Each structure stands twice: as structure tokens, then as C-alpha cells.
Amino acid sequence: MATVRAQDALTFTPRGSYHVFLSFRGKDTRKTFIDHLYATLSGAGLCTFRDDEGIERCENVNSELEKAIKAARSSIIVFSKTYASSRWCLNELVMILEHKRASGHVILPVFYDVVPSQVRHQTGSFAEAFGRHKELFMTETDERKKEYLRNKVEGWRKALREVANLAGMDLQNDANGHESDFINKIVKVIRDKLNQKVLHVAPHTVGLEYRVKDINSWLRNTSADVGIAVICGMGGIGKTTIAKDIYNSNYERFEGSSFLASIREISERPDGLVHLQRQLLLEILKGKKEHINNVDEGIVKIKNYIGCKRVLVVLDNVDKSDFFDRTIGMRHWFHPGSKIILTTRNKHLLKAHEVCRIFEVEPLCYRESLALFSWHAFKQDHPIEGYVEQSKEVARRCEGLPLALEILGSSLSGKGLDIWESALQKLVAIPDSQIMGKLRISYDSLQDDHTRKLFLYIACLFFGKDKDFTIRILDGCKFHTTVGIDNLIDRCLLTINGCNKLMIHQLLRDMAREIVCQESPEEPGKRSLLWDHEHSLYVLTEKTGTETVEALYLNMHLLNNSRELKTEAFERMRNLRLLQLNDVKIKGGFKDFPKRLAWLSWHRFPLKSIPSDFPMESLVALDLSHSKLENVWKRTKKLLNTWPWTYLSWNPWETLT
């Protein structure tokens, strides 16, 4: 922290430039108590003003010191034995109290080697000092000047009585005479009074208090164990905001602390890990710089320091499982009672043998979502008249994701209703690019193309489907589905509900579909997955399908369309593996129909029997519900014995022979 001295006072003007103004009697404490207090305040991040030794006391400096008082959020007044002997100190005290009355300026009286009653009643050394002040005006012969000095002295007495009645700190009572402990307590008290936060947390953090409650309870556990916690959740769910709030509320409970932000981005830079190690040591050592040349040297130096004091370390946005060991070192190096918190999108980031607490961040409920959106859109916790239904629609669509609510609320703030309606229509068709960019980080960080492709399949085609059924189908498509689903759950991209259904957040589904659409923005027939019924109908009608298409879903009933299609529309889709049709009529032979089909779901299948040239060798599931089938077994009985697993569905009232 830069030193702030009175010689520089001419440049001091803005209110709130300093956290603390120090008022003290230099003769008693400048080179001892005040020097240590100033260093501790500065080391704690509190910008502190103190006047310099030997400064000439003139009217100009007096005016500038008054500016410094007004530019500070608080004053610490250190009362020592000869404090009242200094007219300069007493005038300064009066200025501080005047500022308090006008602005709510925070004052903390500190009784160093005197007790509050001496200050309040001007006894002891304070009585002696005021005896000398009285002599000064009693010997004055000019009556007007004498009256002025009498009022001045009475004003000093009144100021001392007023400040002594404020809640203060006494060296003997609060620290049993131990100055080091006393100084640390002073810093904590002034921080609490200023509500000092070292990390910025965005305003309008709806639902934050509920979400940090359990983590704070864990963090404040007095166990001597080294604790590790993982705060996990999908991108934009509020992990970093929660971590910052927790850090602000708890860092003073530890002897050292560090918050390393944006680790994923920084660690990818040249010497990024070394930069993070330097920052960690700089913060734990309260500004003392340590030279580090490489990661290994950094680990050794970190080991030497973290073993000596209880520390709180927050590692924000970690995506590599080995980051902890490679950057900081081993858990057992930390001093007993230390706490380490990681935020990540990967629930099981740490090794299986690591003992840690996992806190998964829940989405906002609907009420919280509407309130957060309203704060950003209307600067209040509820929608304004005329925008209620539109606001509710945004809240529903965002499904409790704070990032999306904040971005959309800010973008619509101050806009007319016509803009809102247009934006909502666009949001359904084209997801917001800023939101998608943030969410795509989770997709891009998946460990391989196999897992990324599996995510797209589930998000576009199997959302809400039974987990076991999905595994059966996708295993038939050569996916390693079970382990893939487990990886997606760990990355907070997928959940399984109580009914064993696969669930994915609406905005993650939007992101997945946008990724697929970008494979060929203008020509749907060149995309791998076709789930949009209108796109599917276009591809089949215009016969624009290609080898790229691996899955197609078409529901003619939803389109209210009875058009008859031709089987030749499928000829070029040689890699089609999943086909869902509902109320679709097709004419033509099936000789050149895709032969790699693993799943065929054709509700209201229009034929009485499965054509003899229909390719069924690769099928693992066949769903012909609500169909007109009469003769299914003649074609399939022999194949049933060769299929490793089979899923057949039809209506129980259908006549099968």
C-alpha cells in the first residue's frame, strides 16, 4: 500500500479516498504504536492517512488536513498521555467530530496508555494539560481574544467528552496490554465498521444468503483438520459470486488468505502457473513479494509459508484435476485449521481418495429468478406494469440461471415493449451469443470428441428419456454411454431426476442445438442431427440429406401435414443411425434405405407388415406404436435370436401373427 503523508496533501481531494485518518500525538506514539498500527492497516488493504513527522504547522496544512479528514471514511483517534497537551490534536479532534455530525463519518477512539474516564472527565494528565490551556487565556489581556480562547478550550473539553462516550478500544481491557494483539483487533473492528470487502460482489445477489449458509458453517468449523471444499455447478450458476461472498465474510478469521480468480484462463497463458503462485504468496504474505522462476521453485516456497499459519485459499474456476498438486502442493503441507475452496464445473475434480466436501449450487427458484431479472431490467425486485408476462417468460426460459437472467435483464432495460417482444421471439430461435459463449466453455472442456458428441445426442434427442433406455440405444450406436453419462454428470452438464430421466438445463440444450446448427448454418441436410420437424421435412421433401446426417426426427402430426414422402429421400443418408417418425407416410422401396439404423421409432407405421427389403440387421430398438401392423413376426422372428438386445413396442390390442 502506498504511503500517504501530509506533504502530498495538496493532491488529496475526493471524498472516500482513504479508509482511515489517523489522529495521534506524535511525541508519544509516532515511532512505536502508530508506526505498527499504520503498517498493519496498510497491509490489510486499508488506505490510511497520517501526517508526517516534523511537518510545519501552518494554516495551509491545517486546511489540507481538514480535506484529508473529509476524504476519509473513518478516523482512528489514539489517546495517549500527552494528547490533550497538543492544541493541534485537539483542533483536529474538533474537525473530526464536525465531519461526523455532517456525514456519518466513522470514529473509533483508541485509549492507548490512558483510560476512557481520564478523557471523558479530563483527569490525570488531561487535567494537567487543560490547566496549562486555562492559564493561556487567563493571562490574555485582550477581552475579545480571551473570550475566544475560553470558548476554544470549552469546545475541546466538550469534544473529549463526546468522543470518550463513543464505543472505543482500551489497550488494557481489550488486549491485556499486548500491543500486537491490540492492533490486530483495531484493524478488525475498523474493517467491520466500514464493512470492508476485499472482493467486489455484484449487487442484487438474490438468494445468496441461503446458498452460502452451509458453506459458511463448514468454513467456521474450528476443527484442526485441513479442510477442502468443492463448489460445483454448471457455467453461470453463480459459483464465483458465492466464493467471493464467502471469502469476504471469512478471510479475517485466518492468519493469511488468497483468492485466485480465473484460474482456467490464467493457467493457459505462458508462465500462467508461476503467475498464480506469485499472487498466492503475495496475498498470504500481505504484500511481501517472493521471486519465483518456475513452478517447482514456487511449490517449495509455498510449502515453507503455508505450513506456518492458518490460511484460507480460494481457487476459482479450476478445470484440471492435477492443478492443485502442480501449483500449490500437497494437502498435508497446510497448517492445521487451514481451508481450501475450489470452484469448478467438474463435480469430481479431485481424486477419489481426497476427502472433501462437495457443495453443488442449485438454480434459482422461479420467484428468485423473476426478482433477479427485474433488478437488472427495472432496478427493482418486480416487473413494472405492462411487462409482467414478458418478464415471467424470460424467468421461465432461463430456468434459474443467474448469468442468463442478468444478461437478458440488462440488455432489455429501458427498451420499449415492441423490442421486448422481438427479443423474446429471437431468443427462442437464436440463443443469446453472450450466454452461449459462457456456457460453451463447459462443452469445449470435455475430455474428448466422444463425450462432446454424446452430449449433443442427449441434449438434442434424448432429453427427458429414460436413462437405461438411452444407454441401450446409444450403446448400439457405438457410444460408451454409461461412462459418458457419468462424465457429463460430473461436469454439471447433465442430471438424472427421481424418475431416472435424463435432464439438461434449457439453455444448455439451446447451446447444444446451436452447435449442431453451426455445422451448416444454411443447409440443414449437412448437419449431423435433425430434431426440428420443419427442417426434417424440408430435407426429406427437397432430398438434400447427406452422409453427415446421423439422426432425424419428424412428427407430421405436429406439423398438421399429411404429405406423402418418398423413400429415395433417405438414400444419401448412409450414416443415419437414429430415426424417429410420427404419422409419416412414405412410398417406395426400402432397398436403398440406410442400413446402419440402430433405433427406429415409427409411430402410426402405415403398413400392415414390415417390407421384406427393409434393413433391420443393425437395429437394437424398434418402436412401432399405434401402427397398422398385422404380420410382424414373419419378418422378424429369425432376427430376434441374433440381436444382442431388443426393444420392441406396439399396442397390446394390435393383432400380431
Amino acid at 526: K
SS3 of residue 602 by DSSP: strand
d(CA 67, CA 9): 8
d(CA 548, CA 572): 9
Instruction: For 138-188, give the DSSP string.
Output: HT---HHHHHHHHHHHHHHHHHHHHHHTS--EEHHHHHTT-HHHHHHHHHH
Choice among 56, 59, 66, 92 that is catalytic: 92
Signed CA dihedral, 45, 48, 53, 56: sign only: positive
What is the grid cell recorded at 445?
472442456
d(CA 486, CA 225): 30
H-type alpha helices, 317-475: 323-327, 366-378, 388-398, 402-412, 417-429, 433-444, 449-457, 467-475
147 catalytic? Reply is no
HSE-up of 348 (CA within 13 Å, CB side)? 9
Edge-first strand listing for the sheet containing 551-555? 529-530, 551-555, 578-582, 599-603, 621-623, 647-649
Instruction: For 194-237, give the DSSP string.
Output: HT--SS---S--TTHHHHHHHHHHHHT---SSPEEEEEE-STTS
Phi and psi torsions of 509, nearest 5°: -65, -40
d(CA 523, CA 539): 9
How far does Cα 397 stand from its chain's mean position? Answer: 21
β 495-496/502-503 pair status: antiparallel
Element (H, E) at 247: helix 239-250
- Work out the number of other CB atoms within 10 angstroms of the CB of residue 281: 22
Element (H, E) at 89: helix 87-103
Amino acid at 474: L
What is the grid cell recorded at 153?
478550550
Cross-strand bridge partners of residue 530: 552
What is the grid cell recorded at 311?
490460511
Element (H, E) at 636: helix 633-640
154: Cβ contacts below 8 Å, ≥ 6 apart? none
d(CA 512, CA 436): 9
Q: Which residues are tagged catalytic?
A: 92
